[in-house]
Structure 1
Amino acid sequence: MPLKASVFIATSLDGYIAREDGGLDWLLGATQSADDHGYAGFMAGVDTLVMGRGTFDKVMTFGEWPYPDARVVVVSSTLKALPQGVSERVELHPGPIPALLEHLQATGAKSLYLDGGKLIQGFLREGLVDELTITRIPVLLGQGIPLFGELAKDVLLQHMRTTSYESGFVQSTYRVVR
């Protein structure tokens, strides 16, 4: 059975996932709602969270590890070892994406949560993303780290659903058409 690779990510209305320095202050300030906007349900449907190095570095600044029960694979060609104190459920993989997928399949992964701009862009370029859930936050940043980068060809999407929340967030889910 092939792996299912899904994205669940927030962007500013103008398509940025973070400030140029990786800052998420705009996002953290906007999420005062008790509603998790479908995150727990999404996480219940995945068995492995795959994140890039930049996302891992940012998550490490949060204090408490936010994924205590999840298998997490950090993809980095430059990080040689995980920092002390990281959960034993976290592993490091140097990539590239084909070798990563081979490793994930060999170790029983079936449903992936892809997190991090460069990682998501790489999976999109390889045609390996199955579903995207994008939550648009009502703020314009004007500059930052974009969710989408250059693609060699168009990626056709089929709209699955859109939910508008009291918080002002608008969340849309798309299936990648192959």
Structure 2
Amino acid sequence: MSREVILYIAASVDGYIAEPDGSIDFLGGGIELVEEDTSYQELMEKIDTVVMGRTTYDQVVNELAVDQYPYEEQSSYIITSRPDQNTEKLFFTSQGPVELIQELKEQEGEAIWVVGGASIIAPLVEANLIDTYILTTIPTILGKGIRLFNEFNGPVNLKVNQVYVKNDMVYTTYKTR
């Protein structure tokens, strides 16, 4: 059995996941949340593992969720050249993203969420290891920043599985062919 690998991420209309300094303030973008959005809760019910780079991890624990790590129910793998102390569910590894995901896909478990960032996503896209792409398009054009998809040897062919709009954001789910 091979576990599903999901990229669930938000980007600007012009394809940036962060501003040039790495901040993600644009995600709020003055959007008025008038409709209930359960996509994050639905994702969390499907996964038991998260994978992210060290920069994303540091942003989560130092800026976004200072008081409580939001993925303490899941096993977390942080890909880094600066290892830290592992815990029961928090694993710091210098293993490359492709090798790590290939290893995790073969283990027992539920779906795996690739949280970010771009340096983790790019090799996984190129190796075609992401099964489901859930992209939320934020109605903002940044003009510059950190790209969701860097240049790579493609193509990776996808098919549209679902598209809907909530709170002026476009949610598109793609599956690999």
Query: What TM-score do the two structures reach when normalised by structure 2?
Result: 0.87
- Gap change, CA 1:14 and 1:87, over 3 Å in 2: farther
Instruction: Give, in angstroms, the shift of residue 37 of structure 1.
Output: 4.7
Identity of aligned residues (%): 29
- Gap change, CA 1:32 and 1:79, over 3 Å in 2: farther
**Runs of 4+ with deviation above 6 angstroms:** none
Asked whether 1:66 is paired with 2:70, we answer: yes
- Gap change, CA 1:106 and 1:38, over 3 Å in 2: closer
State the partner residue of 1:47: 48
Cα distance between partner residues in 2 of 1:5 and 1:102: 10
Q: Is the 8 A contact 2:165 2:171 kept in 1?
A: yes
Instruction: Give, in angstroms, the shift of residue 164 of structure 1.
Output: 0.6
Instruction: Give, in angstroms, the shift of residue 14 of structure 1.
Output: 0.8
- What number of residue pairs does the alignment pair up? 172
Give unpaired runs (5+ residues) of structure 2: none
Instruction: Give, in angstroms, the shift of residue 105 of structure 1.
Output: 4.9
Instruction: Give, in angstroms, the shift of residue 88 of structure 1.
Output: 4.2
State the partner residue of 1:158: 159
Residues 135-146 of structure 1: pairs in structure 2 closer than 5 A: 135-146=136-147
Q: Is the 8 A contact 1:2 1:110 kept in 2?
A: no
State the partner residue of 1:134: 135
RMSD of aligned Cα (Å): 2.1
- Gap change, CA 1:88 and 1:172, over 3 Å in 2: same
Cα distance between partner residues in 2 of 1:88 and 1:131: 28
Query: What TM-score do the two structures reach when normalised by structure 1?
Result: 0.87
Asked whether 1:147 is paired with 2:148, we answer: yes
Asked whether 1:79 is paired with 2:79, we answer: no
Q: Is the 8 A contact 1:4 1:110 kept in 2?
A: yes
C-alpha offsets along residues 98-154 of structure 1, whole Å, 9 cap, x if unaligned? 541354257534421001122111111111111100000101110000100112121
Q: Is the 8 A contact 1:68 1:87 kept in 2?
A: no
Cα distance between partner residues in 2 of 1:5 and 1:97: 12
Q: Is the 8 A contact 2:159 2:176 kept in 1?
A: yes
Q: Is the 8 A contact 1:9 1:134 kept in 2?
A: yes
Q: Secondary structure at the match of 1:101?
A: helix
